[in-house]
């Protein structure tokens, strides 16, 4: 067994909703339950509002987010749509990451939990591209759990949602494996 396959993939989930029974958070929990790899799930509820004056001495919650991003090999972002845009919660988290160099080039997948809403999804992808994320297009999927009639706890056990999540995981895992292979080749060719 290769070292690459023996080492679990470290992934980070960012949620754009703080609501206790959020479908976005439920979708991330379902993704974690169906994950073929280790997933570190972070919620931004403790993040203070973005303030550039605090970046040189970040609050503990911000430092923890930065470390989680540094450690992650890929990131999954899920956010509902409010007023045709991303939530303040996810925008705040992303604002804290703008000046954090390890975010740039990091593989990112965006899951849209709504059936018809696309404005937030479009805005989120634009923000992520502006931040130089390596957007995994094939893993950016619409998984319409909102209004589906399932409860948050039923998402992972609903075949149509589980199959969409498993397909997205396949793309994410393949992308991370390719990135690992490129890193190994670069390391092997270094003097």
**Top-confidence residue, 21 or 174:** 174
Token reading at 37: 């790899």
For residue range 98-146, what is the model confidence (pLDDT) as tens digits?
988 899 999 999 999 887 778 999 999 999 999 999 999 999 999 888 8
pTM of the model: 0.89
Predicted confidence at residue 163, as pLDDT, reads 94
pLDDT attached to residue 146: 81
pLDDT digit string, tens, across residues 155-185: 889 999 999 999 999 999 999 999 999 989 9
Burial 98-124 (b: 16+ CB within 10 A, else e): eebeebeebbbbbbbbbeebeebbebb
> pLDDT confidence of 3, banded at 50, 70, 90?
very low
Which two structure tokens, joined as six digits, stand for 139? 């893993």
Instruction: Give the pLDDT score at 173.
Output: 92
For 50, list phi and psi in degrees, rounded to 5: -60, 130
Take residue 106 and report the two structure tokens written for it.
């990091």
Residue 1 has a pLDDT of 42
Q: Which CATH architecture has domain 3-189?
A: 3-Layer(aba) Sandwich (3.40)
- Encode 57-82: b = buried (16+ Cβ within 10 Å), e = exposed: ebeeebeebbebbeebbbbbbbbbbe
Q: Which range (22-26, 40-44, 78-82, 148-152) has the least confidence?
A: 40-44
Average pLDDT, the chain: 88
């Amino acid at each position: 067994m290769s070292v690459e396959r023996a080492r679990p993939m470290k992934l980070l989930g960012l949620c754009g909703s703080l609501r206790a029974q959020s479908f976005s958070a439920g979708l991330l929990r379902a993704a974690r339950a169906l994950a073929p790899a280790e997933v570190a799930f972070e919620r931004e509820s403790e993040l203070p509002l973005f303030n550039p004056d605090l970046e040189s001495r970040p609050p503990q919650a911000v430092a923890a987010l930065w470390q989680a991003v540094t450690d992650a090999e890929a990131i999954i972002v899920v956010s509902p749509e409010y007023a045709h845009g991303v939530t303040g919660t996810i925008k705040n988290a992303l604002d804290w990451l703008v000046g954090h160099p390890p975010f740039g080039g990091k593989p990112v997948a965006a899951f849209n939990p709504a059936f018809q809403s696309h404005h937030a999804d479009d805005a989120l992808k634009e923000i992520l591209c502006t931040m130089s994320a390596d957007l995994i297009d094939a893993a950016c999927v619409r998984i319409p759990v909102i209004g589906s009639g399932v409860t948050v706890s039923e998402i992972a056990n609903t075949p149509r949602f589980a199959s969409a999540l498993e397909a997205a995981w396949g793309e994410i895992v393949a992308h991370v494996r390719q990135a690992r292979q490129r890193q190994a080749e670069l390391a092997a060719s270094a003097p």
